[in-house]
Amino acid sequence: MHRLLSATALLMALAAAPALAANATPPVPAAKPAPAAKPAPAPKPAEPAPAAKATPPDAKPSAAAAIAATKASKLKPPGCKPEDIPDSSPDAAYVAYEEGCYVRARELAEAGAAKGSGPANTLLGQIYEQGLGAPIDLKIASDYYAKGALAGDPHAQFALGVMLVEGRGFKEDKKKAAEFFELAAAKNHPIALYNLALIYVEGDARPQDFGKAAELMKRAAELDHAPAQYDIAAFYKIGRGVPKDETQSTFWMCKAAESGLTNAELECGIAYYLGKGIHKSEAIGYQLIRRSAEKGNPVAQNRLAHALAAGRGTAQNTVEAAKWHLLARQAGVSDFALDRFLATLSSDDRSKADNAASTWEQSTASVLQ
């Protein structure tokens, strides 16, 4: 399911407020605020299809064959066994969809939709929106979503809101979208709650109301929506829509970190280093910042370099410190103090750091590919 609004709208609305990150002191300086990560996809998404077997080096398939194979994989990915999907199960259509049996999912959903099932109509909307098991057709998708919404399915109500905001299948209409988000939010759809909060921050489709935004954001956060946890932490940090509360801010930031949100891991790690809103523990802070750094966050890489150079929260390791500084600097995070530190290394240690940084980059690129 597509994302409604960029969390940048939230940060822009709060631009005049103090920065979110703690004003840390060396060796863990304050992190630059970063936008929240994208919201999690809507419930019951399709599982990725198993990878197809690689083409032998000597094989030379034609372009037409490659296109045909791609289309076929969307209809029936390798490993899909329609005969294993129990027709009697009330969730059979979703089971088939998650197994990658998209055509079978469509057939089962059509049978359910004929009986007035809201979730079945919603699934058909998703099938036609994404082109899995049927050609992409936003008009048909919106019709099925509308039927699902009318039947009271919050996922369909949310999906219609997204399409209206993005102007897909409909003319863009944020005010109408907000109405559908409100319907879904009333049934505790976490992403609808989060996006509705952003609408109240933006002050376009609804009057700007930070109190209402904070209320909705917190409800989404309580439903374990990580971006909402990150943003409500910002609200508590600066006292926007809620009383300023360092303990609450750190609590929600660390909840977002538990969900694996990279920027939250950095912020929570800094809080542990400084003992702000939580008990002080440099060891825990180090582990959190390292997790963020390993995911490629250049600010976290810079903080990690400081921690390793000074032996804060971990054993001192000058080569590792240099490695992370080199990675952060290459990503655009400059640091004069660490540049001076780098200049003090022996040629042997500098070579080790260069090699370590290069190895990390290559391994990361391999994972991404």
- Domain segments of the chain as ranges: 41-48+70-153
Could you report the per-residue pLDDT of 104-128, keeping only the tens digit for each? 899 999 999 999 999 999 999 999 9
Average pLDDT over residues 251-278: 97
What gap in Å lies between CA 174 and CA 172, rounded to an integer? 6
- Extract long-range pairs of 209-214: CB within 8 Å, 24+ residues apart: 210/235, 210/240, 210/241, 211/241, 211/242, 212/241, 213/241, 214/240, 214/241, 214/242
Could you report the per-residue pLDDT of 5-42, keeping only the tens digit for each? 434 334 333 333 333 333 333 333 333 333 333 333 33
Residue 63 pLDDT more than 60?
Answer: no
Point out the least confidently predicted range of 18-32, 88-102, 307-321: 18-32
The residues near 155 (Cβ < 8 Å, ≥ 6 apart) are 42, 43, 44, 119, 122, 148, 184, 189
Residue 241 pLDDT more than 80?
Answer: yes
| Rg of the Cα atoms in the chain | 24
Share of the chain above pLDDT 90, in %: 69
Which residue's entry shows tokens 């009986």? Answer: 115
Residue 322 pLDDT more than 90?
Answer: yes
Predicted model pTM: 0.76
Could you report the per-residue pLDDT of 182-235, keeping only the tens digit for each? 999 999 999 999 999 999 999 999 999 999 999 999 999 999 999 999 999 999
Average pLDDT over residues 246-254: 98
What average pLDDT does the chain have? 82
For CA atoms 2, 291, 257, 296, the dihedral sign is: negative
> Closest by alpha carbon to 125, among 100, 157, 173?
157
Could you report the per-residue pLDDT of 141-153, keeping only the tens digit for each? 999 999 999 999 9
How far is C-alpha 289 from the geometric centre of its chain's CA atoms? Answer: 18
Could you report the per-residue pLDDT of 267-313, keeping only the tens digit for each? 999 999 999 999 999 999 999 999 999 999 999 999 999 999 999 99
What gap in Å lies between CA 135 and CA 148, rounded to an integer? 20
Contact present, 185 and 199 (Cβ < 8 Å): no
Structure tokens at 315: 């054993």
Residue 78 pLDDT more than 60?
Answer: no
What gap in Å lies between CA 233 and CA 147, rounded to an integer? 37
> Closest by alpha carbon to 188, among 157, 167, 219?
219
